[in-house]
């Protein structure tokens, strides 16, 4: 009899669990079918039939909540993300606005290649610790004199592959390659992509944010790798791989940020029309190099950290050691990021073509500034693929104030 009672009890529990599951599924289906009008600011096209001669706003799905006995509540969440603006939608809209513009179509292909590469790299970074992708690759140093990590090589291969397959590239220039790569044949095009496939890769083993930086410009039929100023860029951006993966992009008319939704496999618009504050209260730099810097720069730090600068606020140091992570914070919160020249790096540390120029374009498009200390970063004429420059970049008022000390006699 005890066995019989146990079997009966187990049956009742199983039956109740099945009933709850069926009810939850029904509620989910019901909530998914329920809809409310989208907000007036939505840029989504009208999906509903016109009523009485006027257009009806696009519908947006909503969630709900239900009780199942014993005050147990089940929440059914919305699927609003299914109607959000993705990077693919964003680029397609630009093509629709300019149906005869060949450049717009090619840029759509290029950005499809960029986001495909960034999705793959985001996945590799997220799984690095469990798939033996941390540590050194054992291939020695790259052209920069830096030991290559496994993910440096993998990320470089991914970015080269996805960009080459767009059919729009004439040349690819990478931090991990000694020389630029020429794309010929059926996949050849008229654009140049320069990139750092995995900036801050020394942080990988500690699971700290890293990123990809890229710049795009026209080759204009050049017979060799074209070395042009950053002001000739037609697009630039970075993808930060952290608690989430965020792709910040400028196509020359502002800055927009897209966050990777892994459930969709799409980058969704989350930071439209980013504007950098004119002034912040954070400076970002490797202050361990302070003894090697000029007296003017040291005076600047002493001034702002004591609240004696132009803003009267005490500045705080925030430094990750990944330019992407530090610039992302600066772009959103304001402040200044810098890597001055010093006795060891007389021409600066950061690479002009695929680090300084893309970040300078983003900063300026968001209302900020970028300088080498003597001229605008994007006005510097490169001499070779891996040229380096000092950089002071961030909020316009912070950069202007800092330069007064940098250039102090």
Q: At CA 273, angle to CA 175 and CA 210, rounded to 5?
A: 30
Q: Are 339 and 227 in contact (CB under 8 A)?
A: no
Q: Are 359 and 327 in contact (CB under 8 A)?
A: yes
For residue 17, give both structure tokens.
């669990």
Please report the DSSP string for 66-134 in residue order. Answer: EE-STT-EEEE---GGGGSPBHHHHHHHHHHHSTT-HHHHHHHHHHHHHHHHHHHHHHHHHHTTTTT--
Residues pairing with 267 in the sheet: 260
For residue 248, give both structure tokens.
């910040």
Q: pLDDT of the chain along its 409 residues, tens only?
A: 454 555 665 666 666 666 565 555 554 444 444 433 444 444 445 444 444 444 434 433 344 454 545 555 544 444 454 558 999 999 999 999 888 889 999 999 999 999 999 999 999 998 877 767 666 765 666 666 677 778 889 999 999 999 999 999 999 999 999 999 999 888 999 999 999 999 988 887 888 899 999 999 999 888 899 999 999 999 999 999 999 999 999 999 999 999 999 888 999 999 999 999 999 999 999 999 999 999 999 999 999 999 999 999 999 999 998 999 999 999 999 999 999 998 888 899 999 999 999 999 999 999 999 999 999 999 999 999 999 999 999 999 999 999 999 988 6
Render the burial of 179-204: b for 16+ CB within 10 Å, e for the rest. Answer: ebbebeeeeebebbbbbbbbbbbbbb
Q: Are 366 and 279 in contact (CB under 8 A)?
A: no
SS3 224: coil
Q: What is the edge-to-edge ordering of all strands in the sheet holding 391-394?
A: 316-317, 282-284, 336-339, 391-394, 369-371
For residue 386, give both structure tokens.
């891996």
In whole angstroms, how far apart are CA 340 and each of 359, 373, 377, 390, 402? Answer: 16, 8, 13, 5, 11
Q: Are 215 and 199 in contact (CB under 8 A)?
A: no
Give the integer Cα–Cα distance in Å for 387 and 240.
Answer: 23
What is the structure's pLDDT at 239?
98
Give the integer Cα–Cα distance in Å for 208 and 322.
Answer: 9
What is the structure's pLDDT at 98?
86
Residues pairing with 64 in the sheet: 76
Q: Give me the torsion for CA of 195, 193, 237, 257, rounded to 10°.
A: -130
Q: Are 248 and 271 in contact (CB under 8 A)?
A: yes
Give the integer Cα–Cα distance in Å for 100 and 92.
Answer: 13
Q: At CA 343, angle to CA 340 and CA 347, rounded to 5?
A: 55
For residue 402, give both structure tokens.
């800092």
Q: Are 165 and 113 in contact (CB under 8 A)?
A: yes
What is the structure's pLDDT at 141?
64
Locate all alpha helices (DSSP H) within 142-277, ordered by sequence.
150-164
Give the integer Cα–Cα distance in Å for 107 and 193.
Answer: 12
Residue located via tokens 């970049």: 393
Residues pairing with 282 in the sheet: 316
Q: Minimal CA–CA distance to 191: which of 227, 172, 229, 218?
A: 218
What is the structure's pLDDT at 33?
44
């Amino acid at each position: 009899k005890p066995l019989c009672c146990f079997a009966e009890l187990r049956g009742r529990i199983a039956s109740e669990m099945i009933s709850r599951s069926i009810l939850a599924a029904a509620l989910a289906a019901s909530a998914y079918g329920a809809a409310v009008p989208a907000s007036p600011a939505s840029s989504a096209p009208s999906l509903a039939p016109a009523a009485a001669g006027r257009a009806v706003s696009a519908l947006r799905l909503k969630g709900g909540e239900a009780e199942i006995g014993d005050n147990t509540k089940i929440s059914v969440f919305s699927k609003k993300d299914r109607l959000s603006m993705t990077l693919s939608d964003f680029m397609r809209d630009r093509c629709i606005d300019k149906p005869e513009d060949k450049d717009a179509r090619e840029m759509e292909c290029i950005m499809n290649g960029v986001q495909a590469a960034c999705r793959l790299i985001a996945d590799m970074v997220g799984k690095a610790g469990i798939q033996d992708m941390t540590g050194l690759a054992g291939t020695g140093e790259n052209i920069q004199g830096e030991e290559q990590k496994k993910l440096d090589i993998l990320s470089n291969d991914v970015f080269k592959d996805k960009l080459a397959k767009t059919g729009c590239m004439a040349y690819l220039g990478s931090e991990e390659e000694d020389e630029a790569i020429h794309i010929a044949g059926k996949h050849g095009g008229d654009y140049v992509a320069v990139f750092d496939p995995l900036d801050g890769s020394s942080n990988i083993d500690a699971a700290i944010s890293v990123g990809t930086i890229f710049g795009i410009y026209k080759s204009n039929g050049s017979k060799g790798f074209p070395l042009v100023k950053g002001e000739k860029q037609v697009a630039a951006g970075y993808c930060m791989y952290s608690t989430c993966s965020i792709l910040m992009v400028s196509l020359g008319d502002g800055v927009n940020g897209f966050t990777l939704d892994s459930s969709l496999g799409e980058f969704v618009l989350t930071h439209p029309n980013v504007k950098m504050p004119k002034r912040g209260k954070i400076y970002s730099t490797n202050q361990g190099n302070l003894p090697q810097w000029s007296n003017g720069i040291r005076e600047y730090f002493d001034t702002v950290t004591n609240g004696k600068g132009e803003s009267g606020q005490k500045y705080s140091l925030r430094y990750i050691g990944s330019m992407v992570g530090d610039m992302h914070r600066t772009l959103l919160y304001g402040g200044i990021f810098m890597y001055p020249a010093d006795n060891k790096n007389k021409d600066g540390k950061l690479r002009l073509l695929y680090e300084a120029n893309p970040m300078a374009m983003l900063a300026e498009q968001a209302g900020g500034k970028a300088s080498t200390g003597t001229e605008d970063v994007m006005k510097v004429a490169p001499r070779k693929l891996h040229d380096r420059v000092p950089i002071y970049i961030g909020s316009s008022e912070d950069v202007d104030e800092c330069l007064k000390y940098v250039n102090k006699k």
